[in-house]
Structure 1
């Protein structure tokens, strides 16, 4: 591990991987702050960053341009419908619409149930047709006979089964 690290360090230094100039190159200049979450000029509805860089509608129609000029005036003169239209120019969905449940859980539960059901059917088919029968050594009678045989042989009398059997009374201690 140390040998590989010693071989990799000169290559990384040669590529300036440890240089601070790489960190500055990503966020320096260009007029856009480096702390910005969404540096691209793309509209996105995100609840963690509810103010997108660009408005939802970028190319306005004549009616929308008239509404924008009316917006520059007194907002009390705007009707509720006009306020909603202005909001929809800037945002596609409200925060409540973004966070509204989608019902996707139903698809997930249905798909998971289907996979579990198919797995169960395959298991039953394999158990019935593909798997061999259990060997006779797995029977309860066989195991009981083996235990009696080990007790008769007094197998492992210090710590095994024979140490827990009372041979005078023929019962477990």
Structure 2
């Protein structure tokens, strides 16, 4: 049995009454022995979305029953229709409508603009940098660490240390 998202979606959407079920059984029984008519399969790509769900289900079930037999007996139109119904760009595989990319782009730009705006607003009303962030304070901390011989293996008082110690680049701010 061929299981695709289209078959499970159609199977779940079918709610048949007794007369409709009998009519479908007779269609399936008849379709298993002979080919589906050409007008039924003509332009299926263009007509599929507009077809009622019941008609879509009946056509898919008839094609499925035809595919249970010898595939060499399928007509080219039946093969194309079965492939298109199973894997065509409809339902969950439908392509995005035109303009979707632009909507996504402008939505992302609006989100980034709002983020930068909020960031700027927060920075505008933020407290100034702490007094320990100025260069003089950090140099004084370096001298204190050297006096105390702090971290003699890898730190500022080691033999081959060439780093800035506690001195960082001065903060940028208001």
| TM-score (normalised: structure 1) | 0.41
**TM-score with structure 2 setting the length:** 0.41
Q: Which has the higher helix share?
A: 2
> Which of the two has higher C-alpha Rg?
1
Which is bigger in relative contact order (C-alpha 8 A, separation at least 6)?
Answer: 2
